[in-house]
Structure 1
Amino acid sequence: MRAHPTCENAPCPGAWGHEPRRRTEKRRDPPTRYSALSGEDFTGQDLISARTSHLRFTRCTFVEADLRQAGMDGCSFKLCDLRRADLRGASLRGAVLSGCDLRGADLRGADLTGVDFGRVNTGRPRYGLTDITGALLKGAILHDVRHEEVIGWQSAADDIA
């Protein structure tokens, strides 16, 4: 009896006289799912040295929150209120801040490498843009920062020098 080319001599009910070898699929790890918070209020909270990564914040409030030395690499902030938040020395590498209010936020010494200060298309003009008017950026690491259509970027950038 001739062996079927893919059966390796196992019994096959077919014309070849043995059963075809079953292919085993490689086990794949489940896709990574990121946690998300929506509408949470962290106003005035002490979040010094908090550590999280790849967390999605939507419409969260961090007004006057203390986020000094926080590690929030790869996090996404969409339509969040970070007015007067203290982010001195925080790490936001690769984070996305879309449509966020950062007026008066203190980002001195923060690592903003690869941060995308974006916007959210809300259909209403001037709404959904990130605003960093009066934010303090002196000593911040701004390598590969994207900042198209950011309100107050020029005045904040003047603070860097």
Structure 2
Amino acid sequence: MDQATAQDSDELTVGEDFTDQVFAGERWSGRKFVDCRFTDADLRGLVTERCEFTECDFSGADLGDSRHHGTALRTCVFSRATLAGSTLSSCTLMGSQFTDCRLRPLTITDTDLSLVSLGGADLRNTSLAGLRLREANLVSADLRGASLRGTNLAGARLNGARFEGADLREAMLDASALVAARVTGAKVDMSLAIGFARAHGLLVDLGDED
């Protein structure tokens, strides 16, 4: 089958090893994979729609310039993987782990990143606006200049994260979580600014008390 030809299948694939295989430029729709290995696979330019990957290993895989719509990548491992130039829309990556990955530039919209591990990730100038990052691990992540406007960061771990110049307006998070982060020059709304000040032990005078 030609690589550019769409491959539609509702068949469930379990425990297969696709290490080093080439799927560059293919189109997958409705395919389901559980506990499969895509280690060092060439997935560059892959297009998926409504696919499901559960507990799959993408270590060393090249997903550069790939496009994914309505696809679920749950509890998957991405170690030293490349996603630069990729696009994810209306997807879920719940519980997946990213370690030493090349992520920029990344276009990601209407996607659930709850419980995702992005510790130490380079996400500078990336738009994560409006996404769900509940209980995500962002320890030591580099989010300088990133847009997190309206992002749900409830319960996220932010120790050592860099938010210099980032847009945090309307973000949902416990302001005290930012105490251990670097936030110089970050844009915040009044509610977050007050919460942040109080988390640093300041007594905020709102002018409505004697």
TM range (shorter): 0.5 to 0.7
Quote the residue 2:49 is aligned against.
73
Q: After TM superposition, give the deviation of residue 88 of structure 1 in Å.
A: 0.7
Equivalences for residues 51-130 of structure 1 within 5 A: 51-119=27-95, 130=96
What RMSD in Å do the two structures reach over aligned CA positions? 1.8
Quote the residue 2:11 is aligned against.
35
TM-score by length of 2: 0.53
Q: Which has the higher strand share?
A: 2
Q: What's the secondary structure of 1:72's corresponding residue?
A: strand
Counterpart selection for 1:144 from 103, 110, 118: 110
Structure with the greater relative contact order (CA < 8 A, sep ≥ 6): 1 or 2? 1
- Which amino acid letter does the alignment assign opposite residue 50 of structure 1? E
Residues 43, 64 of structure 1: CA spacing in aligned structure 2 closer, same or farther, 3 A cutoff? same
Residues 142, 154 of structure 1: CA spacing in aligned structure 2 closer, same or farther, 3 A cutoff? farther
Name structure 1 gaps, 5 residues minimum: 1-32, 120-129
Work out the percentage of aligned pairs sharing the same amino acid. 29
Show CA shifts across 1:1-59 (max 9, x none): xxxxxxxxxxxxxxxxxxxxxxxxxxxxxxxx822111111101111112211111000
Q: After TM superposition, give the deviation of residue 157 of structure 1 in Å.
A: 2.7
Question: For residues 65 and 93 of structure 1, what CA distance do their matches in structure 2 show?
Answer: 20
Is contact 1:64–1:83 with CA below 8 Å preserved after alignment? yes
Show CA shifts across 1:73-132 (max 9, x none): 21110000001110011111111111100122111111111220113xxxxxxxxxx101
Q: What's the secondary structure of 1:112's corresponding residue?
A: strand
Q: Which moved more, 1:131-140 or 1:93-102?
A: 131-140
1:155 aligns with 2:117: no
* Alignment coverage as a number of residue pairs: 119
Question: For residues 152 and 110 of structure 1, what CA distance do their matches in structure 2 show?
Answer: 17
- Which amino acid letter does the alignment assign opposite residue 108 of structure 2? L
Q: What's the secondary structure of 2:83's corresponding residue?
A: coil
Question: For residues 145 and 38 of structure 1, what CA distance do their matches in structure 2 show?
Answer: 25
TM-score by length of 1: 0.68
Q: Which moved more, 1:144-153 or 1:40-49?
A: 144-153
Name structure 2 gaps, 5 residues minimum: 1-8, 127-145, 147-210
Question: For residues 140 and 41 of structure 1, what CA distance do their matches in structure 2 show?
Answer: 27
Is contact 1:134–1:152 with CA below 8 Å preserved after alignment? no
Is contact 1:147–1:153 with CA below 8 Å preserved after alignment? no
Question: For residues 153 and 143 of structure 1, what CA distance do their matches in structure 2 show?
Answer: 20
- Which amino acid letter does the alignment assign opposite residue 23 of structure 2? L
Q: After TM superposition, give the deviation of residue 156 of structure 1 in Å.
A: 4.2
- Which amino acid letter does the alignment assign opposite residue 131 of structure 1? Q
